[in-house]
Amino acid sequence: MALLQSIPGINGTAEVQEGAFAVPAELTVERGGFDPWCLSAFASRLAEKGFAPLVFKDGGAALRLRRDGAYAPEAYTLEVERAGISLTASGERGIIQGLTSLFERLAGREIPCCRLSDRPRYGHRGFMLDCSRHFFESAEIERILEEMALVKLNIFHWHLSDDQGWRIESRAFPKLHAGGPRYTQEEIRRIVAFARDRGIEVIPEIDLPGHTTALLSVYPELSCREEPVSPVTGGGIFPIILCAGKERVYEFLFTLLDEIADLFDSPLIHLGGDEAPKTEWEQCEHCKAALKRLGLEDFEDLQGHFTARLAEHLAGKGKKVRCWNDILKSRVLPGNMDIQYWVEWDASGGLESYFDRGGGVVFSDMFSLYFDYPASFSSLQKVFRYEPAIGGRSRAASPNTAGVEACLWTERVPTAAALERAIFPRLFALAETAWAGPGDYRDFEDRLRLKLETLKTRGVSFTPLEQCNPEGEARLAEIARFWKEFQASSGGIELAVPPETMAEMSKAMARGFNLPELPL
Ligand code: ACM
Ligand code: ZN
């Protein structure tokens, strides 16, 4: 029976009962005061299976929604009986998760009787997609969002700017995307609504002050030297970044971020902050003057100050900021900020003390949750067993752990099919651990086999299960192939990172990925 075979598993109680509810051609629904948008994804999935549109009814409906304010966000109870179905939650997001469970149990035109009481392990269950290095059409974004929703992932972190391209329409600064593909403001709004209907919040990321070659190639006056900046295509860390000492940079960013903030209903904006080399700032009269005027100790603090000014501005629009953990190298931090963990190599002290002081962290450990690395680096089992940790100590159960998020950087992901193969089925292992917590891997694989059958029917690409946990020769061959491609696609790492840092990074990567050696 389909009841206990879904992904993610039930994080609570599940009872299977005799019999089934026969879904009528026209399903009646008592909304119980919930907003109709929370039923729209469920309705369109039923429509795809040949059912008629839902019919809302005040009494005597087959599917009854009930509100109970005592339920945690996204928690729900679903009772399927022969005579009808009732679904209880505190808000629309809980209803959406319950309807997803209901839909996942539909077998033919029946839903087996059951009683499920379910809630997520983590409030943040995310996926980040880099749409700068390669651009993916909005139909593909919606396809990914639908697959995320079916496994109860609830955050889409959209990396919309980087060195290689600016991907979000700005009416204030249209030069940002002149000639390149980008999402129009209408597309953004449509995707945000599509995601919301599936219980997914969209968090935009505008990476600042580094990873801004695309921006500076059209607005070089925002750099320290104000000299022409060449666009880049290869991956890497590039030395020319936004100047933090000129007032015009802040004015530009306030206008730009205002425009972006209005397109998204998430209370968060991700401001990146990773991999921002300070070589330009160290030579810049404006940056040096700012450092002195503000009484800051070093240029990392200047990055903290830069981010804090943007954060303060965004607070005026009711937005909080998130930054990659690199920002913790600064002693100056915004008040309204939380952190996305990706690597500890030079921020581990700052990260531990930030966390222990009560700062919120989303965990995206690159050694487990960066899906641009192939299965030989980050196997399906490794993702399944991932537990948030800092300094080798588990932080899985801390209230400061907001949740987990997988990331896909797309320097080497040129097509939608390659994107799907990189994330599926590892995204399902992430969904499993994020919603239900660690469990029995073999049992997960059994459920996964069924899941992959349904993916096939929707034409979604994925890495075959037998290639998801490579070992021995197969693993070594894949690793060698990957490094060759990695080096061929990297344009600017050596440029910006001193040799001793490169050597440290190499060692940390070999350790983190458990690799025999590293040709960096
Ligand atoms: C990152 O991978 N640079 C956040
Ligand atoms: Zn400067």
Written as one string, the DSSP assignment of 265-326 is --SEEE----S---HHHHH-HHHHHHHHHHT-SSHHHHHHHHHHHHHHHHHTTT-EEEEEGG
pLDDT of residue 1: 38
Residue 41 pLDDT > 90: yes
Separation of CA 372 and ligand 1 centre (Å): 12
Written as one string, the DSSP assignment of 200-241 is -EEEEE---SSS-HHHHHH-GGGBSS--------SBS--S--
Q: How far is CA 14 from CA 97, 201, 446, 499, in A?
A: 15, 27, 18, 55
Is there a contact between 217 and 229 (Cβ–Cβ < 8 Å)?
yes
Q: Is the dihedral of CA 149, 151, 153, 156 positive or negative?
A: negative
| 157, 159, 163, 409, best to mutate for ligand 1 pocket (most atoms within 8 Å of CB) | 409
* DSSP notation for 404-444: EEEEE--TT--SHHHHHHHHTTHHHHHHHHHHT-S--HHHH
Q: Which atom of ligand 1 is nearest to the CA of 366?
A: 2
Nearest CA to ligand 1 atom 1: 274
pTM more than 0.95: yes
Rounded mean pLDDT of 161-187?
Answer: 97
Q: Which atom of ligand 1 is nearest to the CA of 340?
A: 4
- Listed in sequence order, the residues at least 6 apart from 250 whose beta carbon sits closer than 8 Å to its beta carbon are 309, 310
Residue from 159, 324, 367, 412 whose mutation best tests the ligand 1 pocket (most atoms within 8 A of CB) = 324
Which domains does the chain show, CATH number per domain?
A: 2-118 (3.30.379.10), 124-154+164-208+252-467 (3.20.20.80)
Report the atom number in ligand 1 closest to the C-alpha of 324: 4
Does 2 score more than 50 pLDDT?
A: no
| Protein residue closest via CA to atom 2 of ligand 1 | 342
H or E element, residue 12: strand 12-22
Cis peptide before 239 (omega within 30 of 0): no
Is residue 93 pLDDT above 60, yes or no?
A: yes
Q: Give the mean model confidence (pLDDT) for residues 317-330.
A: 96
Residues with CB in 5 Å of ion ligand 2: 224, 243, 245, 284, 286-287
Q: Which of 274, 341, 501 to mutate to test ligand 1, by most ligand atoms within 8 A of the CB atom?
A: 274
| Ligand having the closest approach to the CA of 245 | 2
pLDDT at 504 (0 to 100): 83
Residue 204 CA to ligand 2 center (angstroms) comes to 26
- What's the gap in Å between 331 CA and the centre of ligand 2? 19
Q: What torsion, rounded to 10 degrees, do the Cα atoms 131, 121, 147, 483 define?
A: 50
Name residues contacting ligand 1 (CB within 6 A). 274-275, 324, 342
What are 374-430's pLDDT values in tens digits? 999 999 999 999 999 998 899 999 999 999 999 999 999 999 999 999 999 999 999
> How far is 161 from 445, CA to CA, in rounded Å?
36
Task: Please check the confidence at residue 517 and state whether its pLDDT lies above 80.
Answer: no
Written in H, E and C, the secondary structure of 88-153 is EECCHHHHHHHHHHHHHCCECCEEEEEEEEECCCCCEEEEEEECCCCCCCHHHHHHHHHHHHHCCC
Long-range contacts of 66-71 (CB under 8 A, 24+ apart): 66/32, 67/32, 67/33, 67/34, 67/91, 71/119
3-state DSSP call for residue 389? strand
Q: What is the mean pLDDT of residues 111-119?
A: 97
Helix 416-423 to helix 426-435 angle (10° resolution) is 40
